[in-house]
Amino acid sequence: MPPPPAPACTLDDIIANPIPGRFAAQQPAETAAFLRLSSTLASEPARAVQQLVESALVLTHADSSGLTVESQEGGETVFRWIATAGEFARYRNGIMPRNFSPCGTVLDKRKPLLMREPARYYPYIKDLVHVPIRSVLLAPYARHGKLVGTVWVAAHAEKAFTTEHVRIVESLATFASSVLDAMRYEH
């Protein structure tokens, strides 16, 4: 991959805090989603990764969602989008650089992050996607004790992700490792 263009701002300029959210409002839908996901994991493990991102989309009311995993591409470490849903469904199996991407930043910081207008700091994003990303919420997940990818949800219009959305995406990220193990996914 060619070197990325220079950012128009600092990383701190795009990192935002989610607004407070309420747990009770999502509990029945979230419980049902995790039950469906567990059932699919037991019966059709290969379908579970797609169902995970579809659940993320529905539970957060996002416009796009996905699951990335680190992999090697042409001697470089990249993130491969192994499942996508919503507006970005067409980018399944697409890649982003490991060393200069929202997913890489989340793994480096070892915690979920909410970013607003991420293309201001990662300008190459504008050339990769067909609609702008207004905000993206990403949570890291680990396999065998090592952080290796993210579960993310994105909004293409104005949307306020809440602390409740962070909790949901973190829960799905925790589940992601089990899904990939059941699929016997290797990168």
| pLDDT tens digits, one per residue of 33-71 | 989 999 998 898 889 999 999 999 999 999 999 999 999
pLDDT of 24 strictly over 60: no
Residue 185 counted as domain residue: no
Minimum mean pLDDT range among 15-24, 74-83, 141-150: 15-24
Give the confidence band of 186 by pLDDT, cuts at 50, 70, 90. low
Residue 126 counted as domain residue: yes
pLDDT of 187 strictly over 60: no
Can you tell me the distance from the alpha carbon of 172 to that of 60, in angstroms, rounded to the nearest whole number?
Answer: 11
Residue 181 counted as domain residue: no
State percent of the chain over pLDDT 90: 72
pLDDT of the residue at 86: 98
Tally of domains in the chain: 1
Residue 81 counted as domain residue: yes
Residue 169 counted as domain residue: no
Give the confidence band of 26 by pLDDT, cuts at 50, 70, 90. low
Question: Which pair of tokens denotes residue 125?
Answer: 């994003």
pLDDT of the residue at 70: 94
Residue 186 counted as domain residue: no
Give the confidence band of 185 by pLDDT, cuts at 50, 70, 90. low
Look up the domain containing 52 and give its range: 10-17+46-158
Residue 25 counted as domain residue: no
Tens of pLDDT, residues 95-130: 999 999 999 999 999 999 999 999 999 999 999 899
Give me the CATH number covering residue 150.
3.30.450.40
